[in-house]
């Protein structure tokens, strides 16, 4: 098997995409599925948003599999201000499709009994726990799709990557034991 890096120009007009339950179905790219959600932070909430970084770090340290249902590769949370007020950005690379990710996230937060950092963003529906469709709608309205994506090891899922790394580690261990 040869792993060939791949780039993909993404459709620039979402209206040309097939329509799913909540809107256009974004294609899987060499960088898997993903999103970039950008929304303005409510006035005075920067500290609360930043504190979520510590909360998530601690939660994952205590329960490393707590985000497993989301099928993530990577997540990044960014705060930026380019002259139009403080904005929050949620970057994710994951293996499920866009809507499933959102639905799984809602179910996960409810099951954990935690609030979401999104509650500090303008326009976020505060009744999201009983109105998951409103959560999906918010995410879709604030999603900014890529026009180009690139993967060095395209289309592999996080599960495949983890199995491969574990196999490589076991093989290394076996070879060490054969010395």
Partner 1 sequence: MEIKPEAMAVPPISKLKQGKYGPVFPKTPACYGFSVIAKVIPGKEEHLYNHAKVIEKGIAENPELLKVLQAHYLRWLVFEINGEKYMMYQGIFDTDFDKYCEDASLIFGQSGIKSAFEALEGWPEDYATNPASIVKFFRDHHWPSFLEYSEHPYVSCEEIKKGLNLRAAFSEMLDQMQ
Residues that bind partner 1 (CB under 8 A): 1, 3-10, 12, 31-32, 34, 36, 38, 49-50, 52-54, 56-57, 59-61, 64-65, 67-68, 72-80, 82, 84, 87, 89, 91, 93, 144-153, 156, 158, 160-171, 173
Phi, psi torsion values for 177, nearest 5 degrees: -70, -20
> Which phi-psi region, left, alpha or beta, contains residue 80 (left: φ > 0; alpha: ψ -120 to 50)?
beta
Q: How far is CA 103 from the centre of its chain?
A: 12
Least spacing, CB of residue 95 vs partner 1, in Å? 10
10 or 25: CB nearest partner 1: 10
**12 vs 14: CA distance, rounded Å:** 6
Least spacing, CB of residue 69 vs partner 1, in Å? 12
Contact 115, 109 (CB under 8 A): yes
Least spacing, CB of residue 67 vs partner 1, in Å? 7
**80 vs 88: CA distance, rounded Å:** 7
92 or 132: CB nearest partner 1: 92
């Amino acid at each position: 098997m040869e792993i060939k890096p791949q780039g993909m120009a993404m459709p620039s007009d979402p209206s040309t995409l097939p329509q799913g339950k909540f809107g256009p179905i974004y294609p899987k790219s060499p960088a898997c599925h993903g999103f970039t959600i950008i929304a303005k932070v409510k006035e005075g909430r920067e500290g609360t948003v930043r504190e979520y970084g510590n909360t998530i770090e601690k939660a994952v340290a205590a329960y490393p599999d707590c985000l497993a249902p989301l099928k993530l590769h990577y997540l990044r949370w960014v705060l930026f201000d380019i002259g139009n007020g403080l904005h929050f950005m949620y970057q994710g690379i994951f293996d499920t499709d866009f809507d499933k990710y959102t639905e799984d996230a809602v179910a996960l937060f409810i099951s954990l009994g935690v609030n979401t950092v999104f509650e500090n963003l303008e326009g976020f529906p505060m009744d999201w726990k009983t109105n998951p469709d409103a959560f999906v709608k918010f995410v879709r309205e604030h999603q900014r799709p890529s026009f180009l994506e690139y993967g060095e090891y395209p289309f592999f899922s996080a599960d495949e990557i983890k199995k491969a790394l574990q196999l490589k580690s076991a093989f290394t261990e076996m070879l060490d034991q054969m010395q």
